[in-house]
Structure 1
Amino acid sequence: MNAATTREQLLSHAQTLIRQRGYNGFSYRDLADRVGVKTASIHYYFPSKDDLLIAAIDDYAAQEAALIQGIDATLPANERLQRYAALFEGTPADQVCLCGMLAADFASLSDRARQAVRAFFHAHETWLAKVVADGQRDGTLAWSGNPETAGRYLSAAFQGALITSRLFHEPVRIHDVVASLQVGQRAA
């Protein structure tokens, strides 16, 4: 197993464990068992669990940012919002958003990790606010308040929908968030 592959596997399995159990719900031993390495090998790549956490957040945030940037900005706002919701489809039923799970562990995170989680949410809220502003202009989204508030609302609603989808085994809940803005077609 080469170094890049081992590091990538450690990050991938750490993200899965965090999304399933939370930051405090796994150890280097759990991770070592999943990857098939000794815990000393994990310390080689990530000297502390916080180093592992920061790398996991950064990697996850970069993956999510790439997916969001892949949504065509020329589409009507309601379609962009639907595509954003579709990003959550196919998520394993036993997992939620990595940063959403970490938000629940916020009090036990380092300042560095807290800043990274905040940055993740801020990026999503900002993107969602822009989509809502565009939707107000193009008439495809119904929101009477300011777009920044909508961005915060939608981010929280999507996170809540992920959690309750997991709880009730009802993936459709994520689309309830989109429906809350009365997504519709502009009258011709």
Structure 2
Amino acid sequence: MPTSRTSVPVPRERGAGSGAQRRQEIVAAAQRLIADKGFEGLRVREVADRVGINIATLHYHFPSKEALVTAVVQDIVGRLDRVPAGDVQPPPPREHLAGHLHHVLDQFERHREQFVVLNELYNRAIRDEALRRVLQASDTAWTDYLVPILRAGRDNGQLRADLDPVAAATLITGFFKSLLFHLGLTPQGARQAADELLRGLDSQETPR
């Protein structure tokens, strides 16, 4: 007769909060570790040490390193919120697009470390298929968000009549990914570049 198994409870560390709070603490520690040491320096045991938990608790929340990295990416991308909370109806497409660009730039200025983390992950993804899948899913979600806005702006005459929404979405996401490669770029310079990008999408009838 098979021996019955009893579940072993995960040890609860002193001062432990809710599950969601603990997960966020783990994700934040992983982000800081990647920013400090790069992806190669991401060790789940060191993440656990930084949070003040044991490795069993970390694995309870994130069974694998890939699951933890996925949560890191989702947390950073989640800060690039699509539509401000409380908006019942999105603004007109051109205004919506401009608001999104400036919101992402706000996040870049306030949380530059997180963009450093994303940059590190994208560089690593060239050689890491599992990480590439995680980032491709994020890229697809961002493109899927932008394309309807761009298409609506083209169709209502605010953006160029010959605009290719998918190509334009690729241009926008590529612009943000490139920011960290421009050493010495000031926040004002980044905003001017974003405004120039937006003007390149405008129809000739759109006031500038």
Q: TM-score range by the shorter chain?
A: 0.7 to 0.9
Q: Does the alignment pair 1:121 with 2:142?
A: no
Q: TM-score, normalised by structure 2?
A: 0.69
1:97-128 per-position Cα deviation (integer Å, ceiling 9, x unaligned): 755542211134353x4322111101212222
Tell whether the 8 Å contact from 2:119 to 2:177 is kept in structure 1 after alignment.
yes
1:24 to 33, 40, 55: 40
* 1:77 corresponds to: 93
CA separation in 1, counterparts of 2:111 and 2:173?
20
Name the counterpart of 1:109. Answer: 128
Q: C-alpha distance in 1, partners of 2:23/2:41? A: 20
Structure 1 residue runs of 5 or longer lacking an equivalent are: none
- Amino acid corresponding to residue 94 of structure 1 in structure 2: E
CA pair 48-123 structure 1, distance change in 2 beyond 3 A:
closer
Cα pair 2:38 2:120 within 8 Å, conserved = yes
1:141–1:114 Cα change, 3 Å: same
Q: How many Å separate the matches in 2 of 1:52 and 1:136?
A: 39
Structure-2 separation of matches of 1:128 and 1:19: 28
**C-alpha distance in structure 2 between counterparts of 1:87 and 1:16, whole Å:** 23
Residue 179 (structure 1) aligned to one of 193, 196, 199: 196
Counterparts in 2 of 1:74 and 1:32: CA distance versus 1, 3 Å = closer
| RMSD of Structure 2 on Structure 1 (CA) | 3.1
1:14 aligns with 2:34: no
Alpha carbons of structure 1 residues 38 and 58: separation in structure 2 relative to 1, 3 Å? same
- CA change 1:19–1:117 in 2 (3 A) is farther
Q: Which residue identity does 2:138 align to in structure 1?
A: F
TM-score by length of 1: 0.75
> For the Cα contact (< 8 Å) 1:125–1:148, is it kept in 2?
yes
Structure 2: gaps of 5 or more residues? 1-15
Q: Deviations over 1:40-74 (max 9, x none)?
A: 4323332332231233334445x257x21448564
Which aligned pairs between 1:1-188 and structure 2 lie closer than 5 A? Answer: 1-4=16-19, 5-18=21-34, 21-61=37-77, 63-64=78-79, 67-70=81-84, 74-88=90-104, 89-90=106-107, 91-96=110-115, 99-111=118-130, 113-142=131-160, 144-161=162-179, 163-164=180-181, 167-168=183-184, 170-175=186-191, 176-182=193-199, 186=206
Q: Is residue 83–residue 90 contact of structure 2 (8 Å, CA) maintained in 1?
A: no
Higher Rg of the two aligned structures: 2
- Quick one: structure 1 residues 22 and 84, their matched pair in 2 at CA, closer, same or farther if it must change by over 3 Å? farther
8 Å contact from structure 1 (residues 20, 95) kept in 2: no
